[in-house]
Amino acid sequence: MDTKETEQTNEAQKLKEIEQLLQDALSLDEVHVTQAGTHYKIVAVGECFDGMGRVKQQQTIYAPLMERITSGELHALTINAFTPTQWKREKIFNM
Protein backbone atom coordinates (compact mmCIF):
# COMPACT_ATOMS: atom_id res chain seq x y z
CA MET A 1 0.00 0.00 0.00
CA ASP A 2 1.49 3.34 -1.01
CA THR A 3 1.42 6.55 1.01
CA LYS A 4 -1.63 7.97 -0.77
CA GLU A 5 -3.64 4.79 -0.19
CA THR A 6 -2.61 4.76 3.47
CA GLU A 7 -3.70 8.40 3.89
CA GLN A 8 -7.06 7.66 2.24
CA THR A 9 -7.58 4.64 4.50
CA ASN A 10 -6.68 6.70 7.59
CA GLU A 11 -9.04 9.51 6.56
CA ALA A 12 -11.90 7.07 5.90
CA GLN A 13 -11.31 5.50 9.31
CA LYS A 14 -11.27 8.95 10.93
CA LEU A 15 -14.64 9.82 9.34
CA LYS A 16 -16.14 6.55 10.61
CA GLU A 17 -14.77 7.26 14.11
CA ILE A 18 -16.40 10.71 14.11
CA GLU A 19 -19.70 9.22 12.91
CA GLN A 20 -19.57 6.56 15.64
CA LEU A 21 -18.67 9.12 18.31
CA LEU A 22 -21.69 11.25 17.38
CA GLN A 23 -23.95 8.22 17.08
CA ASP A 24 -22.97 6.96 20.53
CA ALA A 25 -23.26 10.36 22.20
CA LEU A 26 -26.54 11.50 20.63
CA SER A 27 -28.41 8.32 19.58
CA LEU A 28 -28.88 9.67 16.07
CA ASP A 29 -31.03 8.07 13.38
CA GLU A 30 -28.38 8.90 10.78
CA VAL A 31 -25.03 10.66 10.71
CA HIS A 32 -22.87 11.38 7.67
CA VAL A 33 -19.40 12.91 7.84
CA THR A 34 -17.52 13.96 4.72
CA GLN A 35 -14.23 15.71 4.20
CA ALA A 36 -12.74 17.98 1.56
CA GLY A 37 -9.17 18.87 2.50
CA THR A 38 -9.27 20.21 6.05
CA HIS A 39 -13.00 20.99 5.92
CA TYR A 40 -15.51 18.55 7.41
CA LYS A 41 -19.25 18.44 6.79
CA ILE A 42 -21.56 16.75 9.26
CA VAL A 43 -25.18 15.87 8.54
CA ALA A 44 -26.91 14.61 11.67
CA VAL A 45 -30.48 13.33 11.87
CA GLY A 46 -32.25 12.66 15.15
CA GLU A 47 -35.28 13.37 17.27
CA CYS A 48 -32.94 15.05 19.76
CA PHE A 49 -32.96 18.16 17.52
CA ASP A 50 -36.74 18.60 17.74
CA GLY A 51 -37.59 22.08 19.00
CA MET A 52 -33.97 23.29 19.01
CA GLY A 53 -32.79 26.41 17.27
CA ARG A 54 -29.85 26.21 14.87
CA VAL A 55 -27.30 27.40 17.46
CA LYS A 56 -28.42 24.82 20.02
CA GLN A 57 -28.29 22.09 17.36
CA GLN A 58 -24.71 23.04 16.52
CA GLN A 59 -23.74 23.16 20.19
CA THR A 60 -25.22 19.67 20.59
CA ILE A 61 -23.01 18.38 17.75
CA TYR A 62 -19.91 20.26 18.96
CA ALA A 63 -20.10 18.88 22.52
CA PRO A 64 -18.97 15.28 21.80
CA LEU A 65 -16.37 16.57 19.32
CA MET A 66 -14.84 19.20 21.62
CA GLU A 67 -11.70 17.19 22.43
CA ARG A 68 -10.94 16.77 18.71
CA ILE A 69 -11.71 20.44 18.03
CA THR A 70 -9.51 21.78 20.83
CA SER A 71 -6.65 19.48 19.79
CA GLY A 72 -6.81 20.92 16.27
CA GLU A 73 -7.69 17.56 14.72
CA LEU A 74 -10.99 19.05 13.54
CA HIS A 75 -11.10 22.69 12.74
CA ALA A 76 -13.37 23.63 9.86
CA LEU A 77 -16.87 22.21 10.34
CA THR A 78 -20.14 22.67 8.54
CA ILE A 79 -23.02 21.23 10.52
CA ASN A 80 -26.51 20.45 9.27
CA ALA A 81 -28.86 18.97 11.87
CA PHE A 82 -32.34 17.69 11.12
CA THR A 83 -35.19 15.87 12.79
CA PRO A 84 -36.23 12.77 10.82
CA THR A 85 -39.22 14.67 9.38
CA GLN A 86 -37.03 17.59 8.32
CA TRP A 87 -34.50 15.17 6.80
CA LYS A 88 -37.18 13.48 4.66
CA ARG A 89 -38.20 16.90 3.32
CA GLU A 90 -34.56 17.95 2.80
CA LYS A 91 -33.81 14.82 0.77
CA ILE A 92 -36.84 15.38 -1.46
CA PHE A 93 -36.14 19.03 -2.21
CA ASN A 94 -32.36 19.36 -2.03
CA MET A 95 -30.76 16.05 -2.87
pLDDT value at residue 46: 97
Q: Is 33 a domain residue?
A: yes
Q: Is 78 a domain residue?
A: yes
Q: Is 45 a domain residue?
A: yes
Count of domains in the chain?
Answer: 1
Query: CATH number, domain at 78?
Result: 3.30.300.90
Q: Is 88 a domain residue?
A: yes
Cα–Cα distance between 71 and 50 in angstroms, integer?
30
Structural domain for 48, as ranges? 14-94
Q: Is 80 a domain residue?
A: yes
pTM: 0.87
User: In the structure, what pLDDT confidence band is assigned to residue 87 with cuts at 50, 70 and 90?
Assistant: very high
Mean pLDDT along residues 36-45: 93
For the cut 70, the answer to whether the pLDDT of residue 95 exceeds it is no
pLDDT value at residue 1: 59
pLDDT, tens digit (0-9, with 9 covering 90-100), for 11-34? 889 999 999 999 999 999 999 999
CB neighbours of residue 74 within 10 Å: 21
Q: Is 4 a domain residue?
A: no
Residues in CB range of 19: below 8 A, 6 or more apart: 31, 32, 33
pLDDT value at residue 59: 96
pLDDT value at residue 92: 85
Q: Is 32 a domain residue?
A: yes
Cα–Cα distance between 35 and 77 in angstroms, integer?
9
